[in-house]
Amino acid sequence: MTDPVVEAVFDAVAETAPAIRDALPGRRVESGTENPSGETVLAGDVHADKLLAEALGEVDGVGSFVSEERPEAVDVGEGYAVAIDPLDGSSNLRSNNTMGTVVGVYDAALPTSGRDLVAAGYALYGPITTMVVADGDGVREEVVERGDDGGASRSVVVDDLTLPDEPTVYGFGGRVPDWPAAFREYAREVEDELKLRYGGSMVGDVNQVVTYGGVFAYPALVDAPEGKLRLSFEANPIAYIIEAMGGASSDGSGSILDVEPEGLHDRVPLYVGTDRLIDRLEAALDE
């Protein structure tokens, strides 16, 4: 049975999505601040973070709001810890390309492992606003539309989402010269088998894999063995969704969901997709 708190969390994310989109045109500029990972924050990131903090802070059963843009968790009551990447792929704001909001609902205070997730999802601000939600009932794709009352409506368009049997696409982040040799070799093989789909926002690129099957990676880099993506806000929620769809996730040696974090803003290499492609990746990195 659907957890009513999880439902309320995704209602709040859906209600916020039209306002996040509406505010983007005037917020393509730098905000003048850096986030806890040392990245320049755009005005769009700050605004999305503020709207989501307000909406999620009001959900009964949410105990803390934890954001990629904030150094500490914000205590908002008793219950789940909701971790948010408010505007994933926000460097696409200048070039007007896809972005999204990533959400993880943890039944434990953060930092904790992805095994404590009870649900995860993302909103995708593409030509259509969609939301992919994974919980105890499976994985669904929904379309989010503005409601007559100024809020939003959610309609399920695909129930019981699973990864296609035959993989079609791949998307790998980072610069090729910065990839370790073993990953470069794996990528060369994959290039012969699949089509490149890379747009520079994790949510958009993962949604290509969700739709067509394949593999997405932001790998370990030679000078950044932890890669770029944040475990609690990005990697865990995406790994939870892909595993719930019958796919696999990895940090290079095992499921992302088994990674034990040391800090709230830990980074981790992320490899997700069709299980046999992830098995091959782990074998290639192990050689």
What is the spatial distance between Cα 255 and Cα 240, in angstroms, rounded to a whole number? Answer: 10
| In the block, residue with structure tokens 């088998």 | 193
Which stretch, 15-23, 24-32, 195-203, 273-281, contacts ligand FDP (CB under 6 A)? 195-203
The contacts of residue 254 (CB under 8 Å, 6+ apart) are: 282
Total residues contacting ligand FDP by CB under 6 A comes to 14
| Residue 228 binds ligand FDP (CB under 6 A) | yes
Tell me which residue of 216, 204, 203, 206 sits closest to 174, measured CA to CA.
216
CB-count burial class (<10 Å; 0-12, 13-18, 19+) for 251? buried
Least separation in angstroms between residue 67's CB and ligand FDP is: 13
As measured in angstroms, the least distance from the Cβ of 168 to ligand FDP is 19
CB of 91 to ligand FDP, least distance (A): 3
Q: Which of 49, 88, 141, 142 binds ligand FDP (CB under 6 A)?
A: 88
By CB under 6 A, is residue 90 in contact with ligand FDP?
Answer: yes
Q: How far is CA 243 from the centre of its chain?
A: 13
Report the C-alpha dihedral over residues 219, 220, 224, 225, rounded to 10 degrees. 160
Binding mask 165-184 for ligand FDP (x = CB under 6 A): --------xx----------
Q: Per-residue x/- marks for ligand FDP, 15-34, CB under 6 A?
A: --------------------
Q: What is the full DSSP assignment across 144-204?
A: EEE-TTSSEEEEEEESS----SS--EEEE-S-GGGS-HHHHHHHHHHHHHSEE---S-HHH
- Closer of 88 and 141 to ligand FDP (Cβ): 88
Q: What is the SS3 assignment for 48?
A: helix
Would you say 80 or 207 has its CB closer to ligand FDP? 207
Comparing every residue's Cβ against ligand FDP, the nearest one is: 91
Structure tokens at 62: 């949410």
Alpha-carbon dihedral sign for residues 225, 230, 232, 234:
negative
In the bound complex, what is the minimum distance in angstroms from residue 159's beta carbon to ligand FDP? 27
Under the binding rule (CB under 6 A), the answer on residue 218 touching ligand FDP is yes
Contact residue for ligand FDP among 66, 220, 229, 239 (CB under 6 A): 229
Q: Which strands make up the sheet holding 129-135, listed edge to edge?
A: 74-75, 62-67, 80-88, 99-106, 117-125, 129-135, 138-146, 152-158
Of 6-14, 134-142, 179-187, 200-208, which segment contacts ligand FDP by CB under 6 A?
Answer: 200-208
Confirm or reject binding of residue 83 to ligand FDP (CB under 6 A).
no
The 29-68 contact track toward ligand FDP, x by CB under 6 A, reads ----------------------------------------
Neighbours of 178 (CB within 10 A): 15
Q: Which of 151, 131, 104 shows the shortest CA–CA distance to 6?
A: 104
Q: Is 236 in the site for ligand FDP (CB under 6 A)?
A: no
Based on the shown chain and the rule CB under 6 A, indicate whether residue 164 belongs to the binding site for ligand FDP.
no
Which is nearer to ligand FDP, 98 or 129 (by Cβ)? 98
Binding site for ligand FDP (CB under 6 A): 88-92, 173-174, 200-202, 218, 228-229, 234
